[in-house]
Structure 1
C-alpha cells in the first residue's frame, strides 16, 4: 500500500481531507487491524520481550519525517554524558544484507549503506555509540545488552510492540502536524490520535501551525555547520560555496530542508526525492557548475557519487528546557548507570567512552 504514496497523496493527506474520503472504508479496516494487533500484544496472545535494561522508544504516528532521528542522536549523546552506555537499535529501512549474511547487523561508519540503511549509518557516524540493525528489534536489543549497553534507544520503534519499553517519545512536525487527522490510507496517521494519550511525552518540532495537545514539549532542529562529503567541516558562515546551489533531499519531508536553507539566506534550486531514495550519479549531475547541498541522511549514500563541491548541512536537535528537566527525573528513577566496565566491540564507542 505504501509504495504508491506519492507527492499527490501526501498533499491530500496533509491538506484537504475530502480528497481522500473515498478511502475511508479502507481506513476503517486498517484501524481495526491495528486495534486487534495492539490487543494481541496487550493480552499476551503475542509475545513481548522485556530487556533487562531501560528502553526508550522514539517514534511518530505519522508518515514522513518529523525530526526523530536527530532527537535519537541527541538522546544518545545526552545519556552518554550522564555516564550511561547507550545503544541504538533500528529496523534499518532501505538496507538489505547480502545473501548468506544474517541479522543482527552491527553498524559502523564503514558499513555499506546498502546493508544498514541510511538512518542507522548516519546515527553511527554522528554518535559513535553502538548501532544495531535488525527487523526483529528484540533480537537487536539482546545483542546490544550482551555487548554491554545499559540503556537502549529504539529509533522509529513506536509501532514495534514486540519489544517492551520504559519510555515512549513521539515527535510531531510543527508545520504539518497530523495532516487531515485520518489513518492510512485516507490520511497520514500510522495510529489514531488517541494513541498520544498513552505515550510518555510528545515533542513538537518547530513552531506549531496547529493547536498542540496539552502538555507537549517543544524542540527545534538547528543547523550546526557544513561538511564536504567525505571531507572537511566548515562553519555556517561564511558559506564555503557560491550560490545559487542545487539542494537535494531524499527525506520524509523535503520541504523542511528547503525551508531551512531559505532561513539561512541561501538561494537554492530544490530537487525533492522519495524518502530513502537510492541515489545514482545521474540524480546528482546537473552540469552547470553550481554547488550541491543535501541533508546528512542523504550524504551517507552519496559519497563517491556526488561532485567535489557537494556539502551536507548538519543539524542538531534542541529540546526545550522543560523536557530536559522532565527527562532527568524519569531517567533518575532508573537508578545510576551501570558501574560495570563492559567490553564493547565497537572501536569508536570504546574511544568515546574513554573520553579520548
Structure 2
C-alpha cells in the first residue's frame, strides 16, 4: 500500500512510535518468514538474477536494474526483466510494448521501458509484467530469453534465483532497523545475509569504494560476501539551470530527490511530497500548477512519477532522469556476469 515515509523510521534514536509499533513489526516479520518457509520455489531453465531490497523504497533499485540489464545485454545475454506491475489493473503476464499504459503495467515497467529504449543490439531487453512471475518467466524463455532479471525479488519466493543482489541506500541504510510498520524493513534484519551481494547506492565519487576505506556498511553484513558502492547522478535538462523550480514526487525517500536537485545547482522555490506510487489526479496537478504560478516556478519531478501523470499535464512538467555512473557499475557488472556465466556451459557470451 502506498505510504509516506515516516520521519521516525530514520531517526537517530528510537521514538515512541517505534516502541508502540514494535509488536506489529514482530508479527509482520513472523508472517513474512512463515510465508517464505511454506513456499516451494520453481526453478526455470535459465539463470535468474534478483534485484531487491530489505527496506521499503528509496534505494535506487529501478535505475540499478535498468543499468544491469543494459550492461548484461551488451555482454551478449538475452535479458528479460520480470516485474509484478505495482498499481496495474491487469494481472496476467504480458510483454511491455510502446503502446503499454500505466493502468495496465504500472509505473516501474514504464520507467524500465523508457530507460532501456532500443539499440542494445540484436536482442533488445524484454520487459514482462504480471502477478505470476513464474508464468512470465516461462513466456520470456519461450520468446528467446536466456537470462531472467527479477525486479524486486528479495521477498519473492515462488521463482528460484541463482544470484540475489540486495540494494541499500548508502546514507539512510537500515534506518532504525525495525520491521514495518515500526521501521522501514520488509523483513527482520538478519535476513539481509540471505542475499549474495550488497549494493550501497548514493551520490558521490564515480568509483567503487572498498570496505577497508571505512565507508558505511551494515555491521550485519557477512564479511565473506561482496559489496559494492554504486553511484547515481541526476541529469537535469540544461534549460532548468537558472530557472525557479517547484519539485514534487511520490517516492520512498522524497528528500533524496530534492537534495539531489539542489546539489545539481538548481533553484527550488518549493517542494511537495506525495505517498510512494501516488497516482496523480487532476486536482493534484491543478494545485501544483497554482503553486508553481504563485512562485513563478516550473514543475519538475522524477521519471517514475512522470509515468503516473494525467496525459493532459505531462507537457507542463519536466522529468529529471536518475542514472547510474558507468564507472561505478563496472565491478558489480563483472561479478554478476562472471557468476551467471559459471551456471551455463559452454559459456555463450564470450
For Structure 1 versus Structure 2, the TM-score category normalised by the shorter chain is 0.7 to 0.9
List per-residue Cα deviations over 1:260-293 (Å, max 9, x = no partner): 1001111112111111111123323323152111
Q: How many residues align?
A: 315
The residue aligned with 1:294 is: 301
Mapped to 2, the partners of 1:120 and 1:66 lie a distance apart of 17
Question: TM-score, normalising length from structure 1?
Answer: 0.82
Question: TM-score, normalising length from structure 2?
Answer: 0.83
Mapped to 2, the partners of 1:106 and 1:65 lie a distance apart of 26
User: Which runs of 5 or more structure 1 residues have no equivalent in the other structure?
Assistant: 42-46, 227-236, 340-356
Q: Given that residues 205 and 219 in structure 1 are in contact (C-alpha distance below 8 angstroms), is that contact kept between their aligned partners in structure 2?
A: yes
Counterpart selection for 1:18 from 10, 15, 18 = 15
Q: CA separation of 1:201/1:307 partners in 2, compared to 1, >3 Å: closer, same or farther?
A: closer
- Asked if residue 168 in structure 1 is aligned to residue 170 in structure 2, the reply is no
Mapped to 2, the partners of 1:260 and 1:57 lie a distance apart of 27
**RMSD value over aligned CA atoms?**
2.2
Q: CA separation of 1:260/1:77 partners in 2, compared to 1, >3 Å: closer, same or farther?
A: same
Q: Given that residues 48 and 162 in structure 2 are in contact (C-alpha distance below 8 angstroms), is that contact kept between their aligned partners in structure 1?
A: yes
Q: CA separation of 1:272/1:209 partners in 2, compared to 1, >3 Å: closer, same or farther?
A: farther
Q: CA separation of 1:180/1:74 partners in 2, compared to 1, >3 Å: closer, same or farther?
A: same
Mapped to 1, the partners of 2:172 and 2:339 lie a distance apart of 29
CA shift for structure 1 position 338: 5.5
CA shift for structure 1 position 241: 6.3
Q: CA separation of 1:307/1:242 partners in 2, compared to 1, >3 Å: closer, same or farther?
A: farther
List per-residue Cα deviations over 1:233-257 (Å, max 9, x = no partner): xxxx4x3565211112111111111
The residue aligned with 1:149 is: 145
CA shift for structure 1 position 309: 4.5
Mapped to 2, the partners of 1:315 and 1:22 lie a distance apart of 36
Counterpart selection for 1:70 from 46, 55, 63 = 63
Moved more, 171-180 or 123-132: 123-132
Mapped to 2, the partners of 1:334 and 1:216 lie a distance apart of 21
User: Which runs of 5 or more structure 2 residues have no equivalent in the other structure?
Assistant: 118-124, 204-213
The residue aligned with 1:114 is: 103
Q: Given that residues 109 and 125 in structure 1 are in contact (C-alpha distance below 8 angstroms), is that contact kept between their aligned partners in structure 2?
A: no
Q: CA separation of 1:193/1:200 partners in 2, compared to 1, >3 Å: closer, same or farther?
A: same
Q: Given that residues 175 and 209 in structure 1 are in contact (C-alpha distance below 8 angstroms), is that contact kept between their aligned partners in structure 2?
A: no
Q: CA separation of 1:322/1:299 partners in 2, compared to 1, >3 Å: closer, same or farther?
A: same
